[in-house]
Amino acid sequence: MYVETWCFASKKAIFNQVRKANLPQRDQPKMLKGCKTDSLIAALHAKEDKNDPSFWSFKRATQRKGAHALLHYPAMMVPSLQGLIMKCVQESQPDVGTVLDPFVGSGTVLVEAMGHGLDFHGVDINPLAGLACLAKSGPYYIDAFEDKSMDLLVAISSDKKKHTARQFSGRDKWHDPEAIPALEKISHHISNEPAKWARRLFWLALCRVIRTTCKSRKSTYKLHIEEVKENAKTPDVYAEFIKVIEIFQDHIAHEHQSLTAKNLLNRGRYIGTLDMRVGDNQSLLNDSDAATAVYDLVMTSPPYGDNVTTIPYGQFSYLPLQWIDVQDIDERVDLALIANTHSTDSASLGGKLKGASEKADSLGDRYRSASHFLGLLKNQTNGRKRFASFFYDLDKSIDGIAKATKANGIHAWTIANRRICGLEAPMVPMMIEMLEAHGVHTIGDISRGIHFKKMAARNALAATMTSETILLARKDSATQ
């Protein structure tokens, strides 16, 4: 049943969310619910096809095109759905100018913000996410990219020298012996390209090749040695690289065309402000951002839980990052993040279990849903630690994000519930309570089915996550 009391998340709304989290996902209505007097909810209602109960599932979303298609990253958002919400935010609040995604990942919100003519700021702890976002930010020099690609491929194919291959932990375990010299040669010639914007695109292309040619199983984001099939061919790294470069040329031309049609490019450069920072958003959304409350719209999807037991973004990115010049992403990238296969994951939300009991006490004191869930986990020491560490960190992130949001600014959080020790973790009720505590009040939600198409998503974790919620909220008008 739809609850009319969404404005300023009443206790009843929170209770209903706790109850909803424990219903079988299939039974839940997948519709927009919310405070109809709020201008954003009204704008979203106006777009909804009332005759189509699966409207918000976005089953009709077509294949990724343009910049959205440059990298396949775990748990990407549906671009057209986020785009529709962004459009409704603009319609209901025409002065919206600046968007923040503090867990930006591959940059779905970045590309949508560009398509809507908005300024954008992104943060992610994973350097691969930083690279993807910077490559997607442009400039879009179509002819120059074709020329530079041609020069690069010619340089690679005419180079008969043997380059000293770089050393890193696990290199010979994860790469075929014939692939290593080819990866090194490609990497060497990308480093020689003088333009940083082109190098970033080439590095991203190489990252894709590393993922497809390495010896890790493609059906999981974790690093797991793939079983060698009889008569399996040695991966042809050069052929793969050429293929990806051609794909990139098409996608970049598509994005260029789309942005040009909207008058959003000036000589190939996006006309708005784009800013990408690599690091922990708890420290990067620093006091200066918070003091000035700069963001009109926060649109984001945090991880589902700690990276160790949910999606290991760091492991997924470890091999590609060993082969590229990381200073091309940002000279300030902390190299400790890529020191081993676990370093990014342990630096991410919930990655450190130290002090977990104190964190559990603190969460339990402040949030009813935490207290309830920790009670259910009372005999599960590890589950309690994971729950407490993740939500404690998320709460700290929300504090900085809320402070950096302008008064009356909008938040759109795409979140999914997950299981801990066989129990549904109360992600939605926790988010409602945590946002509320930081002066950001829920105005509605969209609940939708997730359609996994990629093999890598069909793992045990994905099987437990069949739906996600987009929580819509608004910051107090009185507080900054």
Ligand X SMILES: C[S@@+](CC[C@H](N)C(=O)[O-])C[C@H]1O[C@@H](n2cnc3c(N)ncnc32)[C@H](O)[C@@H]1O
Which residues, in sequence order, are bridge partners of residue 420? Answer: 423
Q: Which of residues 76-95 bind ligand X (CB under 6 A)?
A: 76-77
Residue with tokens 């960190």: 393
Provide the minimum distance between the beta carbon of 470 and ligand X in the complex, in angstroms, as a whole number: 12
469 makes contact with ligand X (CB under 6 A): no
Classified as helix, coil or strand, 188 is helix
CA 264 to CA 387: how far, in whole Å? 43
Q: Which of residues 374-433 bind ligand X (CB under 6 A)?
A: none
Closest CA to 54 of 83, 81, 18: 81
Stretch that binds ligand X, among 68-76, 243-251, 325-333, 360-368 (CB under 6 A): 68-76
Stretch that binds ligand X, among 23-31, 101-109, 333-341, 452-460 (CB under 6 A): 101-109
348 makes contact with ligand X (CB under 6 A): yes
Tell me the residue number closest to ligand X, measured at CB: 105
123 makes contact with ligand X (CB under 6 A): yes
Q: How many C-beta atoms surround the C-beta of residue 150 within 10 A?
A: 11
Q: x/- string (CB under 6 A) for ligand X, residues 127-166?
A: --x-------------------------------------
Q: Which CB atom, from 103 or from 295, has the smaller least distance to ligand X?
A: 103
Report whether 235 contacts 179 (CB < 8 A): yes
299 makes contact with ligand X (CB under 6 A): no
Q: Which of residues 211-270 bind ligand X (CB under 6 A)?
A: none
Q: Residues with Cβ < 8 Å from 353, sequence gap 6 or more?
A: 385, 386, 389
Stretch that binds ligand X, among 46-54, 99-107, 322-330, 398-406 (CB under 6 A): 99-107
Closest CA to 409 of 299, 286, 303, 300: 299
Helix and strand numbers, DSSP H then E, in the chain:
19, 12
CA 118 to CA 274: how far, in whole Å? 9
Q: Which CB atom, from 370 or from 394, has the smaller least distance to ligand X?
A: 394
124 makes contact with ligand X (CB under 6 A): yes
106 makes contact with ligand X (CB under 6 A): yes
CA 298 to CA 219: how far, in whole Å? 32
Q: Which CB atom, from 57 or from 106, has the smaller least distance to ligand X?
A: 106
126 makes contact with ligand X (CB under 6 A): yes
Q: x/- string (CB under 6 A) for ligand X, residues 259-288?
A: ---------------------xxx------
* From 174, 203, 295, 313, residue interacting with ligand X (rule: CB under 6 A): 313
312 makes contact with ligand X (CB under 6 A): no
CA 226 to CA 211: how far, in whole Å? 12
* From 55, 58, 73, 197, residue interacting with ligand X (rule: CB under 6 A): 73
Q: What is the amino acid identity at position 369?
A: S
**What is the DSSP secondary-structure string of 73-87?**
-TT---HHHHHHHHH
Alpha-helical runs (H) found in 404-471: 427-437, 460-463
List interacting residues with ligand X (CB under 6 A): 73, 75-77, 103, 105-106, 108, 123-126, 129, 280-282, 301-303, 313, 348-349
